[in-house]
Amino acid sequence: MTLFLPIVGMLVFLALWGLAWRNRPMMAFGIFAGTASVWVVTAIVRPSGLQHVPIWLPALPFAVVAIVLLYFGILAWLWGRRR
DSSP 3-state assignment of 8? helix
Q: How many domains does the chain have?
A: 1
Q: What is the pLDDT along the chain (83 residues), one digit of tens a residue?
A: 678 888 998 899 999 989 998 999 898 898 889 889 988 888 887 766 667 777 888 899 999 999 999 999 999 999 988 76
Q: Which residues contact 67 (CB under 8 A, 6 or more apart)?
A: none
- Supply the pLDDT for residue 39: 87
End-to-end, the C-alpha distance of the chain in Å comes to 58
Give the structural domain span for 42: 4-82
Instruction: Quote the CA–CA distance of 35 and 37 in Å, as a whole number.
Output: 5
- Supply the pLDDT for residue 57: 81
Distances (CA, A) of 21 to 4, 12, 27, 62: 26, 14, 7, 29
The amino acid at 30: G
